[in-house]
Amino acid sequence: MRVISGNLGGRFFESPHGHKTHPMSEKIRGAIFNMLGDIKGLSFFDAFSGTGALAIEAVSRGAGHVTAVELNIESFKTIIINFETLGITDVVDPIRKDVKAWSRNHKDVQFDVVLCDPPYDAVAYTLLHKLASHAKPGGLIIYSLPPGNDFKLDTDTYESVSEKSYGDANLSVYRRIV
């Protein structure tokens, strides 16, 4: 896998072996970060971090801090190797924990951008709703979900910014309004 842009642009990083992850394509990562624009200094929450690709791309483009949560041990080992190899351990906080447990134990922690790319074989919509609460008011929540899903956030608290299909993934972006 490759970092698309920013100060780490063009550098390569590892992906865990096996079928436990579905690494996000460069096309989708590019779409996310092109939509975000200038992210210098922003805080990110990379839920279901997988390879760490979203966290790495955020840091490469100037994010101030990224919390990356991943439960799978093989994926987490890969994340640590990637963060160390790319020299970004001062800006990222990798946490090996179940995202649901992390969220429950950190109810008041909020970020400028929440990135959710859950395992497609076990999408828990209740958890996705809960994770949205980690966005600051005015912050963005970005979901990459399997095609055909009908997931929506409450329009009293979140406004839909965009929805787009990329073949094997649907990308939904929301802004927290309260």
Give residue 117's domain range.
26-176
Residue 3, in any domain of the structure: no
Confidence of residue 20 (pLDDT cuts 50, 70, 90): low
What's the mean pLDDT in 138-142?
99
Residue 143, in any domain of the structure: yes
Condensed to tens digits (0 to 9), the pLDDT of residues 86-106 reads: 999 999 999 999 999 999 999
Cβ-contact 58, 32 below 8 angstroms: no
| pLDDT of 145 | 95
| pLDDT of 79 | 98
Provide DSSP, 139-175: EEEEEEE-TT------TTTEEEEEEEE-SS-EEEEEE
Q: Is 96 helix (H, G, I), strand (E, B) or coil?
A: strand
pLDDT higher than 70, residue 161 = yes
Residue 13, in any domain of the structure: no
Residue 7, in any domain of the structure: no
Residue 14, in any domain of the structure: no
Residue 1, in any domain of the structure: no
Q: Is 26 helix (H, G, I), strand (E, B) or coil?
A: helix
CATH code of residue 126: 3.40.50.150
Residue 155, in any domain of the structure: yes
Q: How far apart are CA 119 and CA 51, in angstroms?
A: 12
Amino acid at 169: A
pLDDT higher than 60, residue 19 = no
Residue 74, in any domain of the structure: yes
| pLDDT of 121 | 80
| pLDDT of 26 | 94
pTM of the model: 0.96
Mean pLDDT of the chain: 95
Q: How far apart are CA 121 and CA 134, in angstroms?
A: 23
Percentage of the residues of the chain whose pLDDT score is greater than 70 = 98
Instruction: Outline where DSSP puts E strands in the chain.
Output: 43-47, 65-70, 92-96, 111-116, 135-145, 158-165, 170-176
| pLDDT of 150 | 87
Q: How many domains does the chain divide into? A: 1
What's the mean pLDDT in 55-64?
99
Q: Mean pLDDT check: name the lowest of 17-21, 122-126, 156-160.
A: 17-21
Confidence of residue 46 (pLDDT cuts 50, 70, 90): very high
What's the mean pLDDT in 2-29?
89
- Give the residues across from 144 on adjacent strands: 171
| Pair type for strands 158-165 and 170-176 | antiparallel
